[in-house]
Structure 1
Amino acid sequence: MTTSIFAFVVVLGVLIFFHELGHFLVARLFGVGVEKFSLGFGPRLLGRTVGITDYRLSAIPLGGYVKMVGDEPDAEIDPEMIPYSFTHKHVFKKILIVAAGPFFNLLLAVIIYFGFFYFIGTEDIRPVVKHVVAESPAARAGFRNGDEIVAIDGKTVAAWGDIERLIADGGGTPAHITARRGGELFDVTLTPQTKVAKDILGDDTPYYDAGFSGLPPLKAIVGEVAEGYPAKKAGLKKGDLIIGINGTPVDSWNTMKTIISQSKGEALSVRVRRGAETLTVEIIPVLFSEENVRGEKVDSYRIGISTPGITIPDADRIIVKRGLWGALQESVGQTYQISRLTILSIGKLIKGTVSTKTLGGPIMIAEMAGQQAEAGLTNLIFFIAVLSINLAVLNFLPIPVLDGGHLMFFFIEAIIRRPVNMRMREIAQQAGIFILILLMIFVFYNDITRLFAS
């Protein structure tokens, strides 16, 4: 709990600081006076005044703000302060000042990703084939385990991630591959198969499969055995290797999972290898129901085991660092992809194709921040980047009170060449506050429901 609270304050502090720093720097660039730069809301805890700006830390760490001279259109301003007034600046300068907050949140994500891609590097595996799927394009092209991929379509391959990226970039067109086997190079051409899988939002998305992998197939080895489930009652133990079900050989975790899911709850004769011993047990799968991201009920048959995963030898692990331009491309691309996913998620929430139960508030953020902090500093920093992108996208929404709402009014002002009527703005602001209060109540309800459910 202490870790979650501390991580939450750190994450929120970084996000708020960068957001408000964007407003502050662009406001000062255009000669707007800044009266307060506050991290947090409520009573001032500590701070320092430099010039006319009070840099302060406030009591409630759930936000922050930059108070500019003349940022309220109906406020009285001393004549000598008019040159420093936000309201009296050209509308396009006001647009840039407001947009700078969420833009700086996107910039923070780019900086974080750039730091990892350029200075630290990302973990990957060597571009060596460890598994060839039978009757796949790679099998027909003659690939074998141990073949090292050197280049695809003339582009050098340094890690397995490069293979996945280059195959995907090819869009299913024939790929010209240079590989090394036993010290000798050879060239082959294969055409990846176009397949369809569910993305994180539950939509069908195409992908291109060459039919080889840099990891060996996941064996049907029992990791953890859940209490109260059929596997536990049948006596399965951690480390057991499942080699057959109902007379069908099991060569991988996916094969086993498919047989169990298609069992319709009928008894299964499961052959297990435990050390030098082979035994057979009867297991009756149970029906398990859960909701997917769309809020749809999904039923599946399970026996209550998990996989221990794959242990990758240190010799196969590599750290990939990008060059200056490559790191910049990767960091901007990563930020774009997460921004796109966030926008699509919001659209699906509005249309009702993604369940509103997926929404979370401060409690969920604190819980996730704590989990990432316990996993390590790298995980926490990546979490800050993802959250920063989400904050930027949400702030660009045209809801009064948010930056996007202010931008909407300023764009209208630019079109009609006069400020929007104050009464209309007040009504819109009240509506915006009402919407945000309702949203906060709802996400708090979701957070509390999750806590009780867990």
Structure 2
Amino acid sequence: MLSTILAFAVAIGVLVTFHEFGHYWVARRCGVKVLRFSIGFGRPLFSARWRGTEWSISPIPLGGYVKMLDEREMDVPAHERHLAFNAQPVSRRMAIVAAGPLANLLLAVLLYMALFMSGVNWIKPGVGSVQPGSPAAQAGLRGGEVIAAVNGEAVESWQDLRLALMEGLADRAITLTLSQPTTQQLTVPPAALAELEADNHGLARLGLSPARPLAEIAMVDANGAGARGGLQVGDRLLALDGQPLRGWEDFSRQVRQHPGQPLMLTVSRHGRELTLRLTPDSLAGPDGQRLGRLNVAPRQDEAWMNSLRMSRQDDPISALAHAVEKTWDTAWSSFSMIGRMVLGQLSMDNLSGPLMIADYAGQSARQGTQSYLEFMALISISLAVLNLLPIPVLDGGHLMYYTVELLRGRPVSERTMALGQRIGLAALLGLMTFALFNDIQRLVTG
């Protein structure tokens, strides 16, 4: 727990500092006087003055702010009016406001560049196993394939594949281009996608996994139905109820379909065949149906996973090019996902709040430096995208007002801006509440 909190605090501190420094740096170069640079909200825990600005750290770590001289918020002496934010031309005000999100995008580029220069590892989008009867199986996937593109968009890693499949689920259309074992195209039947939500649950039901489980037991929970039936680590699965098993997926599917019902399992143990009587526990599934469970796990095909592992180390120029491309693709995908949520094409259950972000921060930090820096780059891009949304109270809302001012030749009225601020604040609080609810639901359901 302590490591999760620390990882979250470091990530948010760096991202917010970069964001606010973007506002500060451009404001100073536009001739605007900056009164305070604060990381966090509330009464300052620490503050110091430097170059006419109060630099402070406050106890509520949910963001930060840069307070500039502004006639709309305070009395400004006549000799300093030219230093006020509101006295600047609209182009300068737009530059100052846009600088925060752009700083976060720049940070993502720098993080990705550092990763690519130091060397990155990833998993190719290889299909290790396919759930029998799943949409992936209906498309013709059997396991052992490597996917090169989804709906014409190239994918290089399993992370790329997940994002592309999520978009395909939202569009209710998925065509896979394979590079191995042969070059061909497979299309998931539209009817098989009709009931799948464009979320993690929908991705799981699609039936694809990079792992290739073998028909051999690697873990037996001492308190599970498998242990009560006599299963042991190392048992190789041969037949169920007299029918030969085609693999772990076949075994797992039949166990799920027989909750509380006895099954006769034939295994090979130390060269001898044994027949065990197993009765799967009956558990409630996600849709309310009963599912069988033995609480055992298979041995994974390590040779297959090793064949999917890739690595690359770039020179500085190539690293910069790849970093810019990665940042652009991720930002565009984030904008696309938000647009699909607004249009109702993507479930709002995909929204995550501070609890899940903190959880991801802790998980990535435990996985190593590469995972943690990738997490920070992704959250930095997400912060930039969120702030660029045309919602009053966010940077994007201010840019919207200034764009209108640029087109009309005069500022938006104070009354309109005040109304927009109230609407924007309500919308933002609503999104935060919904995201927090999603976080709590995920943590409770595991």
Name the TM-score class by shorter chain. Answer: 0.7 to 0.9
Q: Does 1:231 align with 2:213?
A: no
Matched with 2:169 is none
The 8 Å contact of residues 349 and 356 in structure 1, kept in 2 or not, is answered as: yes
Question: Structure 1 vs Structure 2: percent identity of aligned residues?
Answer: 34
- Distance in 2 separating the partners of 1:441 and 1:203: 23
* Map 1:358-373 → 2, pairs under 5 A: 358-373=350-365
Which structure: greater helix fraction? 2
TM-score between both structures, scaled by the size of structure 1:
0.73
- Distance in 2 separating the partners of 1:216 and 1:434: 44
State the one-letter code of the partner of 1:242: L
Deviation, structure 1 residue 399: 1.4
Matched with 1:2 is 2
Could you report, residue by residue, the CA deviation over 1:30-58 in whole angstroms, capped at 9, with x for unpaired residues?
A: 22222211111111222332222122212
Range moving further from structure 2, 25-34 or 401-410: 25-34
- Distance in 2 separating the partners of 1:77 and 1:269: 85
Aligned CA RMSD, in angstroms, stands at 4.2
Range moving further from structure 2, 366-375 or 307-316: 307-316
Deviation, structure 1 residue 357: 4.5
Cα distance, 1:13–1:35 mapped onto 2, change above 3 Å: same
Deviation, structure 1 residue 17: 0.9
Deviation, structure 1 residue 334: 2.8
Structure 2: stretches of 5+ with no match in the other structure: 130-143, 149-155, 165-174
The 8 Å contact of residues 99 and 403 in structure 1, kept in 2 or not, is answered as: yes
Deviation, structure 1 residue 161: 6.5
Matched with 2:407 is 415
Q: Of 354, 363, 374, which residue of structure 2 is paired with 1:382?
A: 374
Matched with 1:343 is 335
Deviation, structure 1 residue 270: 2.5
Matched with 2:135 is none
Could you report, residue by residue, the CA deviation over 1:224-257 in whole angstroms, capped at 9, with x for unpaired residues?
A: 3457654343232333322333444445433434
Cα distance, 1:172–1:10 mapped onto 2, change above 3 Å: closer
State the one-letter code of the partner of 2:395: D
Q: Does 1:104 align with 2:103?
A: yes
The 8 Å contact of residues 172 and 191 in structure 1, kept in 2 or not, is answered as: no
Q: Of 426, 432, 436, which residue of structure 2 is paired with 1:440?
A: 432
Cα distance, 1:238–1:113 mapped onto 2, change above 3 Å: farther
Matched with 1:278 is 273
* Map 1:287-298 → 2, pairs under 5 A: 291=286
* Map 1:282-321 → 2, pairs under 5 A: 282-284=277-279, 291=286, 302-311=293-302, 319-321=311-313
- Distance in 2 separating the partners of 1:365 and 1:425: 32
Could you report, residue by residue, the CA deviation over 1:150-178 in whole angstroms, capped at 9, with x for unpaired residues?
A: xx9xxxxxxx979x99xx9xx98897x9x
How many residues align structurally?
Answer: 400
SS state at 2:86 partner: coil
- Distance in 2 separating the partners of 1:427 and 1:249: 69
Deviation, structure 1 residue 99: 1.5
State the one-letter code of the partner of 1:111: L
Cα distance, 1:273–1:26 mapped onto 2, change above 3 Å: farther
Deviation, structure 1 residue 62: 1.5
Matched with 2:419 is 427
TM-score between both structures, scaled by the size of structure 2:
0.74
* Map 1:85-104 → 2, pairs under 5 A: 85-104=84-103
* Map 1:30-429 → 2, pairs under 5 A: 30-70=30-70, 73=72, 75-122=74-121, 190-196=182-188, 217-226=212-221, 229-250=224-245, 252-260=247-255, 267-284=262-279, 291=286, 302-311=293-302, 319-352=311-344, 354-429=346-421
Structure 1: stretches of 5+ with no match in the other structure: 132-144, 146-151, 153-159, 178-188
Cα distance, 1:410–1:315 mapped onto 2, change above 3 Å: closer
Range moving further from structure 2, 247-256 or 407-416: 247-256
The 8 Å contact of residues 201 and 345 in structure 1, kept in 2 or not, is answered as: no
Could you report, residue by residue, the CA deviation over 1:158-203 in whole angstroms, capped at 9, with x for unpaired residues?
A: xx979x99xx9xx98897x9xxxxxxxxxxx953232439875677
State the one-letter code of the partner of 2:270: G
- Distance in 2 separating the partners of 1:272 and 1:330: 50
Deviation, structure 1 residue 66: 0.9
